[in-house]
């Protein structure tokens, strides 16, 4: 473990995810940037994996359908939690905070960086809604492939990004016999309060 508790938490995070990227590539693994996102509606938590897409104004960004389950839950209650876990590094990062929509310009820019079929999928999928059959979805995909043939695909208005502005970031490192290390950053005004927790 090479962790400097005196550093800014985002500096430590960027170092961690860079190490995860290098290690995952050496192991032939994908999605080193996967994070478990938890939202809550009516006191019922709901979790799923999403892909972290970079720090935006010191917030952890990801993209989704605003009208899908997580988008609607965030609109109802923007308090969320997220976890990065890299078992090949014996390391996880736990985040608590609040999710805010990214700007339309930021969502447009990222949408245009996606591969074309992913762009089509954003139009074809009524995310989280009941689907009668796979054929129904594939028919929608073909419809939008034809609709946008030989043209630039615009971003659907109901698709875009969020960034999680953290109130707490925990860096967890596995040690033998479950004697783990837990380094906590808690936002206190504009500064970070630093302390450790028992494992």
- Catalytic positions are 178
The residues pairing with 81 across neighbouring beta strands, listed in sequence order, are 38, 96
Q: Is the dihedral of CA 159, 165, 169, 171 positive or negative?
A: positive
Q: Which of 77, 74, 90, 113 is CA-nearest to residue 16?
A: 90
Q: Is the CA virtual torsion 62, 17, 39, 141 positive or negative?
A: positive
What six digits make up the tokens of 57? 């104004």
Angle at which helices 134-147 and 116-124 cross, to 10°: 120
Could you give the CA distance from residue 186 to residue 54 in angstroms, rounded to a whole number? 21
Residue indicated by tokens 């940037």:
33
CA–chain centroid gap for 153, Å, is 24
Radius of gyration of the chain (CA): 19
């Amino acid at each position: 473990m090479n962790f400097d508790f005196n550093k800014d938490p985002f500096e430590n995070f960027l170092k961690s995810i860079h190490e995860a990227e290098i290690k995952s590539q050496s192991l032939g693994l994908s999605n080193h940037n996967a994070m478990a996102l938890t939202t809550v509606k009516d006191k019922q938590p709901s979790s799923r994996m999403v892909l972290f897409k970079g720090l935006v104004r010191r917030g952890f960004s990801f993209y989704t359908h605003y009208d899908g389950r997580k988008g609607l839950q965030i609109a109802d209650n923007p308090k969320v939690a997220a976890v990065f876990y890299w078992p090949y590094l014996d390391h996880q990062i736990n985040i608590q905070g609040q999710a805010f929509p990214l700007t339309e310009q930021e969502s447009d820019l990222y949408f245009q960086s996606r591969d074309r079929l992913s762009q089509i999928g954003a139009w074809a999928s009524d995310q989280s809604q009941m689907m009668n059959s796979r054929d129904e979805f594939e028919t929608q995909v073909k419809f939008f492939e034809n609709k946008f043939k030989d043209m630039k695909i615009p971003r659907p208005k109901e698709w875009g990004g969020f960034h999680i502005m953290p109130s707490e970031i925990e860096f967890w490192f596995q040690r033998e016999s479950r004697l783990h290390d837990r380094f906590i950053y808690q936002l206190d005004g504009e500064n970070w309060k630093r302390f450790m927790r028992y494992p």
